[in-house]
A and B are shown apart, each in its own frame.
Chain A
Amino acid sequence: DIVMTQSPSSLAVSAGETVTINCKSSQSLLYSGNQKNYLAWYQQKPGQSPKLLIYWASTRQSGVPDRFIGSGSGTDFTLTISSVQAEDLAIYYCQQYYDTWTFGGGTKLELK
């Protein structure tokens, strides 16, 4: 099984700050057949179901603001949120879909 490890588990930020969330996989998510990284990011606000933000490690889902930026390749990935807004306070999960599906433990973004 592919294990996904996120850090930090929580993060306190002020509005307008830039934050970085890290995600590491136990094996490479880069598929040689198409040179794509099978890594997605989801946002879950309190009381809501998860929402897809980013797939192929860096492609934003339709309607997702461009302040959400995904990067990385292989086993190390990052979600950067520039100029955090109050509406971004949520739990963020990375997910691999290279071999079935596995989620990271989540990173809770809170207000400082």
Chain B
Amino acid sequence: QVTLKESGPGILQPSQTLSLTCSFSGFSLSTSGICVSWIRQPSGKGLEWLATICWEDSKGYNPSLKNRLTISKDTSNNQAFLKITSVDTADTAIYYCARTGIIRGRGYVMDAWGQGASVTVSS
């Protein structure tokens, strides 16, 4: 059974750095073709892909946020991480991690999602 669970600070102040952790089970980020993505959703709004990290440590970032994002992983502990620098109120959202993949060099769907972590940026 594949499960993912996000964790984060809950609340942080503008200009701080947001650090999120995705802890997962049922699959390994050392398996060829496997990746983990981060997606966010502001309250009442749609889904926005943020970043993806894959088994061989390749990374992809949403161009609109690329300068502020850093994705990383700890394969031995089945975790993936996302850092967002210089947050402001527009970064208030639910942050999801999801399993995805790369097949023959192209992306794949997000077939398992975590429950999401709520993050509020407020002074």
Q: A residues near B, CB below 8 A?
A: 1, 31, 33-34, 38, 40, 42, 49-52, 55, 61, 93, 95, 97-106
Contacts and interface: CB of A to CB of B under 8 A. Distances in A.
A104 to B, nearest CB: 8
A98 B47 contact: no
A52 B106 contact: no
Interface stretch (B25-33, B72-80, B83-91, B109-117): B109-117
A97 B109 contact: yes
A1 B46 contact: no
B109 A95 contact: yes
Interface residues of B, number: 23
Contacts of B110: 40, 42, 50, 52, 95, 101
A61 B108 CA distance: 13
Nearest to A4: B46
B107 A98 contact: yes
Given A31-B106, A100-B60, A101-B52, A93 B114 contact: no
Determine the main DSSP class of A at the interface with B: loop
Given A49-B113, A52-B110, A95-B109, A33 B46 contact: no
Interface string B28-64: 0000000001000000001111001000000010110
B49 A100 contact: yes
B95 to A, nearest CB: 11
A29 to B, nearest CB: 11
B63 A103 contact: no
Given A93-B47, A101-B37, A38 B107 contact: yes
Contacts of A38: 106-107
Nearest to A106: B46
A103 B107 contact: no
A34 B105 CA distance: 12
A76 B9 CA distance: 40
